[in-house]
């Protein structure tokens, strides 16, 4: 019974993380628009209600193909656009930290931010006219370095680095201060965890 409840909670947590990530990105002064690639109708509707533009995962070939599809969608409307891919599991994301990352990244053709563990990637950008060339998944930090992307190592970007893959990651995100969707869901989980 506990396992079934935990499995039921995962999609709700994933959506809450995405809602907080999208909300923070939309509040960032340096972000013109947010495109979400998804085939999940409930997630698409919830994120569109926040102001994101959703596109179907037409390639249906995994995360990196979905990111490339999102870039094509953006550049079909604005051919000269710089683009950035951001993990959807950054519930503590702060708009001002994202603005700093975007400012730093604008100096390079491609740039990225590694996750808090220094293994994965939470952000990848490409300047106008430059391909994104994502290699997310597993040790993607090494993959992005090998692909020629420049790593942004500035201090004070904790909310951009703090993705949530484990319970410990969630506790660290909560300590940083998560957005209202994750905070609300986490508060509703607390009494059940105390039983």
pLDDT tens per residue across span 29-85: 999 999 999 999 999 999 999 999 999 998 788 999 999 999 999 999 999 999 999
CA atoms within 13 A on the CB side of 57: 16
Instruction: Domain 2-194: give its CATH architecture.
Output: Alpha-Beta Complex (3.90)
Q: Which residues contact 54 (CB under 8 A, 6 or more apart)?
A: 35, 36, 37, 38, 44, 47, 48
With 60 as the cut, is the pLDDT of residue 88 above it?
yes
What's the pLDDT at 9?
Answer: 86
Phi (first) and psi of residue 112, to 5 degrees: -150, 165
With 90 as the cut, is the pLDDT of residue 107 above it?
yes
Q: What is the mean pLDDT of residues 84-112?
A: 98
Tokens for 194, please give them: 């105390």
What's the pLDDT at 1?
Answer: 31
% of the chain surpassing 90 pLDDT: 88
Annotated domain spans of the chain:
2-194
Nearest CA to 44 out of 17, 8, 19, 78 is that of: 19
What's the pLDDT at 190?
Answer: 66
Distance (Å, whole) CA 53 – CA 49: 9
pTM: 0.92
How much is the mean pLDDT over the chain? Answer: 93
With 80 as the cut, is the pLDDT of residue 195 above it?
no
What's the pLDDT at 59?
Answer: 79
Distances (CA, A) of 160 to 27, 58, 62, 64: 14, 28, 22, 19
With 60 as the cut, is the pLDDT of residue 5 above it?
no
The 10s digit of each residue's pLDDT in 126-178 is 999 999 999 999 999 999 999 999 999 999 999 999 999 999 999 999 999 99
Distance (Å, whole) CA 7 – CA 137: 22
Distances (CA, A) of 128 to 36, 105, 133, 191: 20, 12, 13, 48
What's the pLDDT at 167?
Answer: 93
What's the pLDDT at 6?
Answer: 52
Interstrand relation of 83-86 and 121-126 (parallel, antiparallel or unpaired): antiparallel
Tokens for 61, please give them: 């070939």
With 70 as the cut, is the pLDDT of residue 13 above it?
yes
With 50 as the cut, is the pLDDT of residue 4 above it?
no
């Amino acid at each position: 019974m506990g396992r079934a409840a935990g499995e039921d909670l995962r999609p709700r947590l994933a959506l809450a993380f995405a809602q907080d990530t999208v909300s923070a990105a939309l509040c960032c002064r340096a972000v013109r628009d947010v495109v979400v690639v998804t085939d999940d109708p409930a997630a698409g509707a919830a994120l569109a209600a926040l102001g994101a533009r959703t596109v179907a995962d037409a390639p249906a070939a995994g995360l990196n193909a979905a990111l490339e599809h999102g870039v094509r969608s953006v550049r079909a409307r604005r051919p000269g656009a710089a683009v950035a891919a951001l993990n959807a599991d950054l519930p503590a994301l702060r708009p001002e930290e994202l603005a700093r990352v975007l400012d730093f990244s604008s100096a390079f053709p491609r740039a990225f931010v590694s996750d808090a563990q220094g293994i994965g990637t939470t952000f990848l950008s490409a300047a106008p006219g430059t391909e994104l060339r994502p290699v997310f998944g597993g040790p993607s930090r090494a993959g992005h370095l090998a692909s020629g992307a420049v790593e942004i190592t500035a201090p004070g970007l904790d909310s951009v680095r703090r993705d949530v893959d484990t319970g410990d990651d969630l506790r660290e995100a909560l300590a940083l201060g998560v957005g209202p969707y994750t905070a609300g869901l986490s508060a509703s989980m607390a009494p059940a965890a105390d039983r």
